């Protein structure tokens, strides 16, 4: 699915620019650098538990899953060593082939600039284009900013049936309507 993703440049509401592109296992070093730039609270909200260091086995399994049945996108900015990842978003297609689960992270220094919205809108657009019918994500109930964003982007936010500390953000995905043909 990565091959179908079209990179783009985006200007955020605070005036900073990012380049949105697909990422692959070849970007492992950038993912690890971005992880190191996450604060404790951002890591907790992303992994739903305290995490001090990246789990390389999980990262490698994640790359394998994305290559098979998902998409990972990154917001990049120029850096002294080439680029930095300042936000990432992924979706993984469920075994039913019709739905997918999303997750995303924004580096602390880029929070509040509209990057989360850009990443989630881009992910929804890509999943829709790839034929997914439903997107859902699991968000900590205390992550008010993410829950507001999901609701603004058309996700229904409900309590998780088995965990009062989680919310389920679910949205139907529909392809944009085709233009009417003007052929006789």
The superfamily in CATH containing domain 2-136 is: Gcn5-related N-acetyltransferase (GNAT) (3.40.630.30)
Task: Provide the pairing of β-strand 8-11 with 17-22.
Answer: antiparallel
The pTM (predicted TM-score) of the whole model is 0.87
pLDDT, tens digit (0-9, with 9 covering 90-100), for 102-147: 999 999 999 999 999 999 999 999 999 989 999 999 999 999 999 9
Contacts of 105 (CB under 8 A, 6+ apart): 34, 38, 42, 46, 87, 88, 89
* Domains of the chain by residue range: 2-136
């Amino acid at each position: 699915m990565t091959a179908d993703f079209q990179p783009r440049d985006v200007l955020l509401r605070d005036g900073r620019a990012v380049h949105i592109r697909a990422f692959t296992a070849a970007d492992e070093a950038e993912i690890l650098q971005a992880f190191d730039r996450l604060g404790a609270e951002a890591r907790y909200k992303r992994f739903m538990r305290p995490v001090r260091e990246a789990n390389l086995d999980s990262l490698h399994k994640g790359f394998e899953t994305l290559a098979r049945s998902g998409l990972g996108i990154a917001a990049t900015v120029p850096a002294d060593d080439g680029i930095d990842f300042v936000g990432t978003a992924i979706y993984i297609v469920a075994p039913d082939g019709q739905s997918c689960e999303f997750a995303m992270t924004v580096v602390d220094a880029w929070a509040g600039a509209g990057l989360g919205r850009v990443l989630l809108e881009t992910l929804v657009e890509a999943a829709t284009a790839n034929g997914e019918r439903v997107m859902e994500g699991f968000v900590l109930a205390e992550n008010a900013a993410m829950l507001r964003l999901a609701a603004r982007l058309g996700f229904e936010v409900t309590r998780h049936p088995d965990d009062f500390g989680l919310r389920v953000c679910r949205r139907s995905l529909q392809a944009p309507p085709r233009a009417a043909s003007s052929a006789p």
